[in-house]
A and B are shown apart, each in its own frame.
Chain A
């Protein structure tokens, strides 16, 4: 895990920062320097809504070594309250209890660990709103 990549992505991973196009109002995640809809470079930071609903999910049983501590885990597509869809892990719930339409909210968790001496990568995941 390269320090520059972790540093560059911290705002989007810790805070859920994407972009909003000032020309066509399109909102997107993750951070880009061009609008994915109209191609304009006239974009500014936009903070995603922190709550949403699960629209699809599946279980991950195999992954890279730096994430194996969490396996098996659930990953889902979440439609946030502002209409943007993001992918994220769904935690603090048994896989058998996850349902489509379930309300969730963002929390900060460990995404991966580079062994016992490398960097720890943090970012948002989702937990059920209960």
Chain B
């Protein structure tokens, strides 16, 4: 029986960036200290005509074009985000129409802070493995909001990643997945509120680290694998410091995680964060490489995955609109333009 896994992948990052030092200048804060603390040089900013729907469509089209198959074979589309443009009217329906994948499919929007995209991947793995669908498309996309002067303003970025999941022409087999979920008041946004609130220092140890570390350990325990068995690893990237610390605590080296740390230039892409990390890793992977992924979503939970890269990776690797392309396609803007693009002025 053929194994379920990733069939294709695509990513999208908006062109605009604002530097950490530009934000620090406005609030008269010490930018060197902030960059040193977060290890984030700049964050991505969507243009005035971009949102989670447009970014989801771009990453999904990149996944489909990289694959080259028939969109009508897609049986499920899930979009994970905490910034869906509509409270009621699914992002996933726009994606289906913009891919020409209507009408014979199931679709839904998911929300679980920064891990709703990986939750969608798990749903697709389950449906494809049980032959309820041939292919499923799981997207993580966010255009996150941060209250001006909130520490989050330095990192709240934007981006999207899409993974096509199925059993045919698999480029990375799923070896296993494990999730850890608890009720944790570390970060929230009430219905109708524009900006999220958070528990400041509370977000570190009991929230991010507990979930990422325990979920990762548990999955490796179940699979009988060790950090040294993996070529690459990616974790959720609220900043660059957290995933680096998580890697060190688990026994992964800097070399294993380095490739995934797009956060340095684009900030925290929320639901897309660990998924863009995985997309970049796949661009550099070779057959036989094992990849470890653990997402984190406030509220709180982590989804851990273990993948084995197959020979099929060579067939799809050369697609040009990859993470590197989008990271390098950039234009720095000042705080005034940032405020206009983000719609802070009402």
Contacts and interface: CB of A to CB of B under 8 A. Distances in A.
B98 interface: yes
Contacts of A92: 15, 47, 331
Interface stretch (B52-60, B207-215, B278-286): B52-60
A111 B343 CA distance: 16
Nearest to A71: B48
Chain B CB count within 10 A is highest, among A111, A120, A125, for: A120
A46 interface: no
Given A15-B98, A89-B49, 14 more contacts: A15-B97, A70-B48, A91-B47, A108-B53, A108-B54, A108-B98, A109-B49, A109-B54, A110-B54, A111-B49, A122-B53, A122-B54, A122-B94, A122-B98
Determine the interface band of chain A, counting residues with CB < 8 A from chain B: 10 to 19
Given A14-B97, A15-B98, A69 B48 contact: yes
B149 interface: no
24 contacts: A11-B97, A14-B97, A15-B98, A15-B100, A69-B48, A91-B47, A91-B49, A92-B331, A107-B58, A108-B54, A108-B58, A108-B98, A109-B49, A109-B50, A110-B49, A110-B53, A110-B54, A120-B51, A120-B53, A120-B85, A120-B86, A122-B53, A122-B98, A125-B49
Contacts of A130: 329
Nearest to B340: A69
A124 to B, nearest CB: 9
Interface string A100-130: 0000000111110000000010100100001
A10 B50 contact: no
Contacts of A122: 53-54, 94, 98
B15 A107 contact: no
Interface of B: 15, 47-51, 53-54, 57-58, 85-86, 94, 97-98, 100, 329, 331, 343
Given A91-B49, A108-B57, A10 B97 contact: yes
A108 B54 CA distance: 6
Contacts of B54: 107-110, 122
B51 A110 contact: yes
CB-based closest 6 A-B pairs: A109-B49, A14-B98, A110-B49, A108-B57, A92-B15, A108-B54
Interface string A73-101: 00000000000000001011000000000
Contacts of B100: 15
Contacts of A120: 51, 53, 85-86
A92 B16 CA distance: 8
A70 to B, nearest CB: 5
A34 B90 CA distance: 34
Contacts of A14: 57, 94, 97-98
A111 B51 CA distance: 11
Contacts of B86: 120
B331 to A, nearest CB: 8
Given A91-B49, A92-B15, A110-B50, A69 B85 contact: no
A72 B331 CA distance: 18
A17 to B, nearest CB: 8
A122 B331 CA distance: 24
Given A91-B47, A110-B51, A125-B49, A69 B343 contact: yes
Contacts of B15: 92
B226 to A, nearest CB: 42
Contacts of B58: 107-108
